[in-house]
Chains A and B, each alone.
Chain A
C-alpha cells in the first residue's frame, strides 16, 4: 500500500505533483480504495444487518448553534450499541452529526475532518462555511450506490459563520438528502428516525432569543421527545450515565459539553417531566 512505500522510500511522484488542495481528490487519484464512495455496493439491501444511527437535532441561537444526538445504534429491532457518538467535531467552527448506516457515516466524517484540515494546512486559510457544506454534499453524492442498498448516510452539518456580523445569522444549519442535495435550514432541523418527533418538539420550544443554555435544554428536550415515541432513539440512560452528546459552536469555537454538564440539563428535563410527562406545555393561544 502507498503509505508503506512512502515511509521507507522517496515520496511517490503523486505527492510532488502540483494539484488541488482537496485531500479527497488526492485520495481519488492516489489511493481510490480508501474513498468511502468507491466501493462496490452490496448485491442485496443491508437494512437490518448494518448498525444504523438515529436522531440528530440542531438549533441556532444568537451567536451560535447547538447540535445534539442520542446514543443509540440499532440493527433491525436490536440495539447494536447504547453509547455510540454521532455528533463530531468537523473543524474549529463546525460540527457534523450523522444518521443512517453508522459504519459508512463515521468513515465519511473522518474523511471530512481530514479534508477540512488538509485544505487549511495547504492553503493557510479555512474554507468558508458554505464551502465546507458543499464538500460534504459531494461525499454524500458519491455514496448513492450504497444508499440504494439500504446504507444511506444522512448527515446534519452546522457551524458558526465567521463572516456574518448579525448574531441571529451566525449559527447556520445544513441538511442533506441521499443524492447529495444540500439545503440550508433556518432556526432548527433534525434528521434520523426520531426526527419527526424531535422536530415537533423543536417547533413548539424554539425561541429566537434563546441563550446558549436555553438552546442546549431545548435540544435535550427534543431528543427526549424523540426517544419517547421512536424505539430506535435512545433516551437518557440514568443508570449508566449515558446522556446525549451535545456540541456547541460559537465564536469561541467548537466545544463538546462534558457528561456532567449534560447530566445537569437531563436532570432538569426529568424533574419537569415528573409533573408533565409530555414535556413543557405550550400555550394554546
Chain B
C-alpha cells in the first residue's frame, strides 16, 4: 500500500467532507417545518431572541436553517438580496421559492466541492401558495442537494427521529394549534433515551407563513401567542388561533394591507373600472 504523499482519493475526499459537515449539523438543536391548513409553520428550539434560525425572505417565502450560524446567516442575507433585487427589477410576483432554492443549491454545491471546507448547514426554503396544494417546501443540504418535500421537514441533531415520528403523525389539514403542539412535543423528545422535556415559549422560536395574510405572509409568533396556542393544544385543540394580539416586534404585528401601487396585491375597494372610463 504505497501511495504518493498527501494523495487522497476523490471518493475519500467527498466522504470526509460530508462526514465533517454532517457532524457539525448534528451538534445543533433541531428545526421542524410543517404545513398546516392555513399555511406553513416553522418551529425551532432556540434560546436566543436575537439570533434567528427562522427568517422572512420575501412576501411568500421564508427560510429556516440549522448548523453554523455565520454560514447560514450569510446565505440568508444573500437570499434577501437576491429576492429584493429581483422583485425590484421585475415585479414582486416574479420572486419564487424555486429560484431561491436553485441559487442556494448551486452555491452550496460549489462550496462543497471547491472550498477548503464545506458549509455545515442545512436549510429549508418554503413558499406558501394560494392553496395548500401550491405550498412548496425545499430542503437543501450541505452538498447542494435539493429535495422537494411534501408536508414536513426536520433538520438538525434529532432530524431522523423527528422525521420518523412525523411520517406517522403528520397529516394534511392540521390546525395551527395541533401542528405547533406536535412540533413542540417532537422537539422535546430526547433522541437517545426517549425522555420527554416540555419546552416553554422562551425556549422556542416560532413563525408562520400565513396564507390569508395580505402581502407579507411571514409572521413571528410572540411568546404570548405561543403560550396561548400551546395551552390550547394540550386541551381540546380545536381553535386554530386566529386573532393574535399584536406583539412589539414589527414582524409579530398584524398590519393593514398597502395599495397595489405600493407593491401589494390588495387595493381598497374603489369604483368599478367602467365607472372611471373617460
Contact between chains at A124 and B52 (CB < 8 Å): yes
With a cutoff of 8 Å between Cβ atoms, the chain A residues found around residue B1 in the complex are: none
- A16-B86 contact, Cβ under 8 Å, with A240-B275, A241-B275, A258-B268: no
Residue from B56, B84, B87, B278 within 8 A of A82 (CB atoms): B278
With a cutoff of 8 Å between Cβ atoms, the chain A residues found around residue B275 in the complex are: 240-241
Among A83-91, A128-136, A149-157, A183-191, the one that faces the other chain is A83-91
Contact between chains at A89 and B259 (CB < 8 Å): yes
Taking residues whose C-beta sits less than 8 angstroms from the other chain, chain A's interface range is 35 or more
Among B14-22, B35-43, B72-80, B195-203, the one that faces the other chain is B72-80
List the B residue with the shortest CB-CB distance to A124: B52
- A27-B85 contact, Cβ under 8 Å, with A82-B278, A259-B270: yes
Contact between chains at A83 and B268 (CB < 8 Å): no
Contact between chains at A253 and B102 (CB < 8 Å): no
Is B253 part of the binding interface, using a Cβ–Cβ cutoff of 8 Å?
yes
Per-position binary interface string of chain B over residues 221-247, scored 1 when its CB falls under 8 Å from any chain A CB and 0 otherwise? 000000000000000000000000000
Residue from B56, B107, B249 within 8 A of A11 (CB atoms): B107
Is A18 part of the binding interface, using a Cβ–Cβ cutoff of 8 Å?
yes
Residue from A1, A16, A109, A117 within 8 A of B107 (CB atoms): A16
Per-position binary interface string of chain A over residues 214-242, scored 1 when its CB falls under 8 Å from any chain B CB and 0 otherwise? 00000000000000000000000000111
Contact between chains at B86 and A7 (CB < 8 Å): yes
List the B residue with the shortest CB-CB distance to A245: B259
Residue from A7, A27, A88 within 8 A of B102 (CB atoms): A7
Contact between chains at A121 and B57 (CB < 8 Å): yes
CB distance from B158 to the nearest CB of A (A): 26
Is A126 part of the binding interface, using a Cβ–Cβ cutoff of 8 Å?
yes
List residues of A (114-148) whose CB comes within 8 Å of B's CBs: 114, 117-118, 120-122, 124-126
Contact between chains at B87 and A256 (CB < 8 Å): no
Give Cα distance in the complex from A75 to B242, angstroms.
49
Give Cα distance in the complex from A241 to B84, angstroms.
35
Is B132 part of the binding interface, using a Cβ–Cβ cutoff of 8 Å?
no
- A117-B81 contact, Cβ under 8 Å, with A124-B52, A259-B269, A259-B271: no
Which of B75, B88, B106 is the most central at the interface, judged by chain A CB atoms within 10 Å of its CB?
A: B88
Query: Which residues of chain A have a CB within 8 Å of any CB of chain B?
Result: 1-3, 6-11, 15-16, 18, 23, 26-27, 30-31, 34, 82-83, 85, 88-89, 92, 106, 109-111, 113-114, 117-118, 120-122, 124-126, 240-242, 252-260
**Nearest 10 pairs of A and B residues by beta carbon:** A89-B258, A89-B262, A10-B106, A15-B78, A258-B268, A259-B270, A241-B271, A10-B107, A11-B107, A3-B86
Cross-chain pairs A/B with CB under 8 angstroms, 19 sampled = A1-B89, A8-B106, A11-B103, A11-B106, A11-B107, A15-B81, A26-B85, A34-B85, A34-B89, A85-B259, A85-B261, A92-B255, A113-B262, A240-B271, A240-B275, A241-B271, A256-B258, A256-B268, A259-B268
